[in-house]
Amino acid sequence: MRKAPLPRLESALQSAGVSSSIRHELALKLYRNHATLDDITLLECKAMDSGADNPVGLFVSWIRGGDWKRIVEDIRSKAQQDREERERSGKGTSSSIRFVERSNPYGWSDPERMRGLDHADPGQWNSFRQCYNGQLERRADGSYDCRYYGSARPEVMGDAPGPTAEWDQSAVTQAKQFSEGASPLRAVPHPPSPTDNEPDPLEGIFGEE
- pLDDT tens across 41-95, in order? 899 999 998 888 999 999 999 999 999 999 999 998 988 887 777 666 655 578 8
Cα 126 to chain centroid distance, Å, stands at 8
Nearest residue to 1 (alpha-carbon basis) of 72, 81, 55:
72
Whether the pLDDT of residue 146 is over 60: the answer is yes
Average pLDDT over residues 16-36: 93
Instruction: Identify the residue with better confidence: 48 or 192.
Output: 48
Q: One-letter amino acid identity for 38?
A: D
Q: One-letter amino acid identity for 48?
A: M
Q: Average pLDDT, whole number, for the chain?
A: 82
Query: 0.95 exceeded by the pTM?
Result: no
Asked whether 177 and 187 are in contact (CB, 8 A), the reply is: yes
Q: One-letter amino acid identity for 39?
A: D
Q: What percent of the chain has pLDDT over 70?
A: 81
Contacts of 35 by beta carbon, 8 Å cutoff, 6+ apart: 3, 4, 9, 68, 69
Backbone phi and psi for residue 131, each to the nearest 5 degrees, phi listed first: -160, 165
